[in-house]
A and B are shown apart, each in its own frame.
Chain A
């Protein structure tokens, strides 16, 4: 106990040295918590954007559909199937879709489009479709009308409340055709989707494609987006080989790759941070040992065991590192929470690039407590490892030589 008291007093004997040690730890913790939480926050946000944009986190198809996206690869909608899926605790919702390509024509104009038959209410919960409306009204389940993307209408020189004709191939070789009233116009961030998307109520779509009660996919909402792979695996096991269950990572591997690349960049930044503090701490230990050479030799000379002295030196650096860590975590909590509520917002070209894909260029932090714990502990670990340096020096300390002038 008295050694700890002495350690505490020694900690403050050279205030600037202790301040350097604590400050390096402090900034290391703050910056590494911030990079870590920003990294996760940005990616979570990106994934949320991409996913809620259209694909959802997880989709269920008939086995083989993703390879060959044809109506013939559709499956029968069944309340039993929905129930089985919803029985998984990780799944919070199931949204049915029937998707296929068709030609949309009006007067002299014919354009290819992606027809999506939806359950209007469920689809809105998943992708906030109603919010993308720029004119007209949102679909009702029994409407025989379409909600068209802004770009498609422009290309076809059509307007709200006009009508268009859809022609395509239906289920099992049938011919699909129908005439629809344009009830709403929506704007999508992605130029690609904005030029091609056309929503129909599910029933109307099934009728047109002559695919009664058939679906191409169930889009699943999940409780924890971080667990999509495990979740899709367990759903897959439940449903058997007749179906394929795919996470967004499988459906959009390029986005997954992009995230992985950015994540590696962030890790380089963190590595650099860790190196920086290591030098800070090491430098101050070096200074400290040089300054106290005589004193340490004197203490061994008068009869202080090296184990006790090692404990003293260790206690001094552990105290400094611990205080720096705690202060760092305490300071980073409000910063991280603030940046979560008031995310960084980019302007200019970057913002435009993001908007093209329908995302806002905002970068919120993740407030997951894991960031504080893992980064705090990691910096603490670095500090503790470097605290061993004085102890190693001490083992070789010779009192006669260190007291020599």
Chain B
């Protein structure tokens, strides 16, 4: 099984001068390709911080993070931007999309950043919109889409760049139950059919239920790590 993320002893401490906050405290994390993993824990337990570290948005104070065997902890911020563009898909809690672009243009945007030619972009856009079941909304602006539809477009954008894995920080937090479950259906299907690795943080018990591996954080430490079903196999 291919390893995509390997984090050794990583720590991130805020407010070191006064009362230190150990947002991520000596965490070891190993993620294989094809995982569908939930990061759970109470508010302030360090989920976002951990996702930012493994997504190369933030640097650990200690420890080392390898993505596909490449050490990203030593990369310059500028190099990291390119690394993220080519290797990591991001879905945020909300406001993922550029408001002046249509759904289709938002998905196309990331491929334009990557310099993918027009024809290849078009083909990929058509496939992705079929997968997120929004072919009829391709030309809508984000403001014309529901919250759930916007998150599905965000997933399509995250996948458009063909990343090694997708990080989603509370992707369903702003969604109603039906939309949340619909988004999870799509993510699970992509995971199953295309072996796409998803790591998402959540508070929602119904979302946690869908994950195949659940990592629980408390005060920046992993307190439990359970695989509910055998990790998806080829």
Chain A residues numbered 6-55 whose CB sits less than 8 Å from any CB in chain B: 6, 9-10, 12-13
Kindly state whether residue A301 has any CB partner on chain B within 8 Å. Answer: yes
Please state if A305 and B78 are interface contacts (CB–CB under 8 Å): yes
* A12 to chain B: closest residue by CB: B100
Please state if B85 and A303 are interface contacts (CB–CB under 8 Å): yes
Chain A residues numbered 293-352 whose CB sits less than 8 Å from any CB in chain B: 294-295, 298-306, 308
Please state if A6 and B100 are interface contacts (CB–CB under 8 Å): yes
Kindly state whether residue B113 has any CB partner on chain A within 8 Å. Answer: yes
Chain B residues numbered 81-99 whose CB sits less than 8 Å from any CB in chain A: 81-82, 84-86, 88, 90, 92, 95-96, 98-99
Chain B residues numbered 76-122 whose CB sits less than 8 Å from any CB in chain A: 78, 81-82, 84-86, 88, 90, 92, 95-96, 98-101, 109-110, 112-114
A295-B95, A298-B95 known; A303-B101 Cβ under 8 A? no
Please state if B85 and A13 are interface contacts (CB–CB under 8 Å): no
Which residues in A have their C-beta under 8 angstroms from that of B100? 6, 9-10, 12-13
Please state if A303 and B161 are interface contacts (CB–CB under 8 Å): yes
Kindly state whether residue A76 has any CB partner on chain B within 8 Å. Answer: no
Please state if A301 and B101 are interface contacts (CB–CB under 8 Å): no
Which residues in A have their C-beta under 8 angstroms from that of B157? 302
Which residues in B have their C-beta under 8 angstroms from that of A306? 78, 81
Please state if A303 and B84 are interface contacts (CB–CB under 8 Å): yes
Kindly state whether residue A174 has any CB partner on chain B within 8 Å. Answer: no
Q: With A and B bound together, what is the CA distance between A305 and B84 in angstroms? A: 10
Q: With A and B bound together, what is the CA distance between A303 and B157 in angstroms? A: 12
* A309 to chain B: closest residue by CB: B81
A6-B101, A13-B100, A400-B57 known; A304-B113 Cβ under 8 A? yes
Kindly state whether residue A385 has any CB partner on chain B within 8 Å. Answer: no
Q: With A and B bound together, what is the CA distance between A22 and B58 in angstroms? A: 38
Please state if A302 and B110 are interface contacts (CB–CB under 8 Å): yes
Please state if B113 and A303 are interface contacts (CB–CB under 8 Å): yes
* B158 to chain A: closest residue by CB: A302
- Chain B contact-residue range equals 20 to 34
Which residues in A have their C-beta under 8 angstroms from that of B58? 400
Cβ-neighbour of B98 out of A295, A305, A403 (below 8 A): A295
Please state if A400 and B52 are interface contacts (CB–CB under 8 Å): yes
Which residues in A have their C-beta under 8 angstroms from that of B161? 303
Please state if A302 and B85 are interface contacts (CB–CB under 8 Å): yes
* Min C-beta distance of B57 to chain A, whole Å: 5
Which residues in B have their C-beta under 8 angstroms from that of A299? 98
Which residues in B have their C-beta under 8 angstroms from that of A295? 95, 98-99
Q: With A and B bound together, what is the CA distance between A94 and B68 in angstroms? A: 91
Please state if A305 and B57 are interface contacts (CB–CB under 8 Å): no
* Min C-beta distance of A355 to chain B, whole Å: 61
Please state if B112 and A303 are interface contacts (CB–CB under 8 Å): no
Cβ-neighbour of A294 out of B55, B84, B95 (below 8 A): B95
Question: Per-position contact with A for B154-167: 1 when CB-CB < 8 Å, else 0?
Answer: 00011001000000
Please state if B92 and A305 are interface contacts (CB–CB under 8 Å): no
Cβ-neighbour of B84 out of A6, A12, A301, A308 (below 8 A): A301
Please state if A301 and B90 are interface contacts (CB–CB under 8 Å): yes
Please state if A305 and B81 are interface contacts (CB–CB under 8 Å): yes
Kindly state whether residue A399 has any CB partner on chain B within 8 Å. Answer: yes
* Min C-beta distance of B86 to chain A, whole Å: 7
26 sampled A-B residue pairs with Cβ under 8 A: A6-B100, A6-B101, A9-B100, A10-B100, A12-B100, A13-B99, A13-B100, A294-B95, A295-B99, A298-B92, A298-B95, A298-B96, A299-B98, A300-B81, A301-B90, A301-B92, A302-B85, A302-B90, A303-B88, A304-B113, A306-B78, A308-B113, A399-B57, A400-B52, A400-B57, A403-B92
